[in-house]
Structure 1
Amino acid sequence: MQTVVEISRSALEHNVRQIRGQLGASTKLSLVLKSNAYGHGTEEVLRVVGPLADVIAVVDGSEALEVRALGYTGRLSILSILDEVILPELLEASVE
């Protein structure tokens, strides 16, 4: 039996807006989309939450480059140790 999860775009957007509404005006909201957005699809989730986040965080450099390739131009942060092999690409893509 295959497990299926359906995510409501409107509910996800509503939830992020509710969280943002609880934050102080100077507090930045970072949303973590590691591991294919926890299996829900990076591209799909990024489309909804990208415009609402101050920072998108991912687990590694390859995920950061994927998010940039999807067109995200906002602040992007990596949560783990950087891979020196792709460091020049990450710097060029303005990844923190």
Structure 2
Amino acid sequence: MKISATSSGGFAGITRQHEVDTATSPAGQALEAELASRAFFANPRGAAEEPVGADIPRWTITVDADGERHSVSFAEDGNPANARWRELLDRILAA
């Protein structure tokens, strides 16, 4: 399984990208379990309402697994609905 996390926006407009191959990462099994517990592939692609403001960082988490590709996007705007994606992002960035 390949996982990528890509940021855009933010005050400086810097793009960041982090990739994890769960087959080779020591955190791979834990990340796969985390994705399964969050029913990642069943979630909609993004938030229903995007916050206004170019200075708000936005992230897209993309997972490629078994010929299927799915992405979830969210803004780091403090919205409680995005907290679960921020938690997942933190685990991906730590891997």
Of Structure 1 and Structure 2, which has the larger fraction of its residues in helix? 1
Of Structure 1 and Structure 2, which has the larger fraction of its residues in strand? 2
Q: Using structure 2 for the length normalisation, give the TM-score.
A: 0.24
Greater relative contact order structure (CA < 8 Å, 6+ sep)? 2
Q: Using structure 1 for the length normalisation, give the TM-score.
A: 0.24
Structure possessing the higher radius of gyration over alpha carbons: 1
